[in-house]
Structure 1
Amino acid sequence: MAHQSTNFSMDNFRIDGMEIPYNHAAKVLIYSNYVCCGLGIPGNTLVILAVVLSKRVRNISTAFIVNLAIADLLTCCVAPIFSWVQGYDYYDPILEPVCQAVLVVVHSCIGASMYTLAAIAVNRFLVIISSRQLYEEIYQSKYVAVQIVVIWIIPISVAVLPSFVFGIGQQGYDFVLHTCAPVKDHPTTVVFNDILTFVLYPIPLTTIIFCYIGILVRVIIHNRKLAEHGVTRTSGNPSNENTQTR
């Protein structure tokens, strides 16, 4: 118990104007963030504009694609803030609230991206295995809107509730990494990281893998049936060979 309080007390040495240890990797990442910003903002903006301006591409699937683009766009928009934080050589208390706000945005947007990809995978899976009637019933506009709301509620809840409501972990400025990150000195930061990691990554990734493996299996089975059908037709009537090949 004494060891925990000693570690956590290190956070009390964050004094305005104190020198931050030099980190070369952090300085390099400053430029990487600007590159991501320069590529991500125009790219995701074009995706959103393409759907908004073209009626022909508007459908249920593009609703998820636009949601993914919005999440990625917001992530790219905060990249310059990371660069600004990493450029500090001396500690400033303003870094703490800035980092807390930025981390909420980043965790929420990354989580929304992951769950949107999972929703797209489920959509593709149901296109393959379900009847048209069931698909159209599930993907009515109102239900799609609910899905998108849930996609955002999950990561926002995980980013906000543990540390800001229940006091599990702490988010702020990391002296070693020169960036915004969960504060390692806090005794429950490990728990916060575990919650964040489990909710934002394994759940949507498992869904994505399951759906695309299911699609692959279904396609393989379908192709085998077509091949068997083609052999039967060809052996029964050789003149149909060219037709079957096409």
Structure 2
Amino acid sequence: MNVATTVSVNNSANESVDPENIIPRIALSGWLGIVGVVGFFGNLLIVSVVVIYPKLRTITNVYVTSLAMADMMTCLTIPFTIVGVVSTTGWPLSDAACVLVAVVSFVCTGSSVWHLAIIGFNRMVLITMTSSRYRKIFSKSHVLIFLLVTWFIPLSVILVPYLGGFTRLGYSDGPHTCSDIEENEDGSENLIHTYLQATFLTCFPLALVLFFYFHIFIFIRKHERNKNTWKTNSLTRESVPPSFWQKLAADTAGTSQSMTPIGSNDAAVPGASSVKETAQTLSTSGNNKVHPTAATKNNSRNSLEYKITKNAFYVVLGFLLCVIPYGICILGGYGPGGTPLALAFLLFNSCLNPLIYGTKHPQFRSSLGKLCRGRFTGPLFTSHAVGPVDH
């Protein structure tokens, strides 16, 4: 009996080992390890510079910091994912630990998408609306509410169906990871979590992101057209001597007076008032010039805001470049058998954001350079109409 039991246990252990799939799984684990290390320390730098440099504590960077913390937590779950991927005997730890890893992974990944939506909404309000309107929408209480929403929605999507008994979380034998289990205990298929995740953690927030940045693009394009038109008209006015406009104003005023009956006003003659005002405005337009220093400051601030918005859109593009291959691998079942190849693309987004902020974002690039050189003080550019959020 003991010999038979021993042989049976050895055979089941040998059957659980899959020599054909263990090599690609080890290679995938190596890639995930690199992503985890780079992503954790990269996002740690993003959080550190916001803490060290007070002028980086803008309202937009509140959500950037929260996004970095979500990516850091995702990177902390990667070692447990590696354990499940390379294990040849199933999940070696407790079931509760596997459920916890699955919850943290889904919440942090879904929260990242909602952070992108809130950042896009913040940039749209800042660029397309007035400063007073911006401060009213993103007041202290509203900033906190928006921040809680980015975490509450993915947490609810995961926990409510699980605690209600509608979905199952644990170790999935197919991809060898802690995730949702798409089968009920009776063997029937259960795709409730898949539909909820696809709707509320992917499609809906991404649709909002694309809408916000499309609105920003339309506004900036219209603004540039108006600015070019104003420049063209300004050059046309400057090419004519100011004396011409003054003479035109005097002639127009005299003509209107001669055509107007005694005791009447300019409104009695249609167009007389508008012609006079136009001529007077044109006569003084050459003398009323914007102060060069103020104009330079406004241009630099607007340029800074455009660069920050462009960088935020780069983060969105980076996420799309990661989530699209992830969806293709999931739907098509691509990759070696038993290898969660889709995770190689999805988790890469956790280390991609620090690379984008460190190379493209004007404020973070400057502050990271100062941090690497050991300079913890010094002036930095402040985002226009945002200011520190110490209030």
Q: Map 1:189-228 to 2 at 5 A.
A: 189-228=190-229
Match of 2:230 in 1: 229
Report the Cα distance in structure 2 between the residues aligned to 1:98 and 1:226, rounded to whole angstroms.
Answer: 58
Offset of residue 99 of structure 1 = 2.3
- Could you tell me which amino acid in structure 1 is paired with residue 207 of structure 2? T
Report the Cα distance in structure 1 between the residues aligned to 2:84 and 2:92, rounded to whole angstroms.
Answer: 12
- Could you tell me which amino acid in structure 1 is paired with residue 235 of structure 2? T
Offset of residue 21 of structure 1 = 5.2
Offset of residue 18 of structure 1 = 8.2
Match of 2:174 in 1: 176
Offset of residue 142 of structure 1 = 2.0
Offset of residue 79 of structure 1 = 0.4
Offset of residue 55 of structure 1 = 0.9
Report the Cα distance in structure 2 between the residues aligned to 1:160 and 1:88, rounded to whole angstroms.
Answer: 27
Offset of residue 173 of structure 1 = 1.4
Q: Is 1:20 aligned to residue 19 of structure 2?
A: no
User: Does structure 1 conserve the Cα–Cα contact (< 8 Å) formed by 2:91 and 2:171?
Assistant: no
- Could you tell me which amino acid in structure 1 is paired with residue 30 of structure 2? Y
Report the Cα distance in structure 1 between the residues aligned to 2:51 and 2:13, rounded to whole angstroms.
Answer: 48
Q: Tell me which moved more, 177-186 or 141-150.
A: 177-186
What percentage of aligned pairs have identical amino acids? 25
1:96-137 Cα shifts (integer Å, max 9, x gaps): 333211110011001111111110000000012222111111
Q: Map 1:1-246 to 2 at 5 A.
A: 19-20=15-16, 22=18, 23-24=21-22, 25-92=24-91, 94=93, 96-163=95-162, 165-186=163-184, 187=188, 189-238=190-239
2:16 alignment partner, SS class: coil
TM-score by length of 1: 0.84
1:89 alignment partner, SS class: coil
User: Does structure 2 conserve the Cα–Cα contact (< 8 Å) formed by 1:169 and 1:191?
Assistant: yes
User: Does structure 1 conserve the Cα–Cα contact (< 8 Å) formed by 2:85 and 2:177?
Assistant: yes
Report the Cα distance in structure 2 between the residues aligned to 1:20 and 1:140, rounded to whole angstroms.
Answer: 57
1:167 alignment partner, SS class: coil
1:23-74 Cα shifts (integer Å, max 9, x gaps): 3443322112211111011100011111111111111111111100100000
Q: 1:222 to 1:92 in 2, by over 3 A?
A: closer
1:90 alignment partner, SS class: coil
Q: Tell me which moved more, 175-184 or 222-231.
A: 175-184
Match of 1:13 in 2: none
Q: Which has the larger radius of gyration?
A: 2
1:189 alignment partner, SS class: coil
**Cα RMSD between the aligned structures?**
2.2
Report the Cα distance in structure 2 between the residues aligned to 1:189 and 1:33, rounded to whole angstroms.
Answer: 28
Report the Cα distance in structure 2 between the residues aligned to 1:138 and 1:117, rounded to whole angstroms.
Answer: 18
Report the Cα distance in structure 2 between the residues aligned to 1:121 and 1:92, rounded to whole angstroms.
Answer: 39
1:173 alignment partner, SS class: strand
- Could you tell me which amino acid in structure 2 is paired with residue 59 of structure 1? T
Report the Cα distance in structure 1 between the residues aligned to 2:92 and 2:157, rounded to whole angstroms.
Answer: 25
Report the Cα distance in structure 1 between the residues aligned to 2:210 and 2:17, rounded to whole angstroms.
Answer: 42
Offset of residue 235 of structure 1 = 2.4
Q: 1:136 to 1:85 in 2, by over 3 A?
A: same
Gap runs ≥5 in structure 2: 1-11, 241-285, 287-291, 293-298, 300-391
Q: 1:92 to 1:82 in 2, by over 3 A?
A: closer
Q: 1:92 to 1:84 in 2, by over 3 A?
A: closer
2:178 alignment partner, SS class: strand
1:177 alignment partner, SS class: coil
User: Does structure 2 conserve the Cα–Cα contact (< 8 Å) formed by 1:26 and 1:177?
Assistant: no
Match of 2:329 in 1: none
- Could you tell me which amino acid in structure 2 is paired with residue 231 of structure 1? T
- Could you tell me which amino acid in structure 2 is paired with residue 202 of structure 1? C
Offset of residue 19 of structure 1 = 4.6
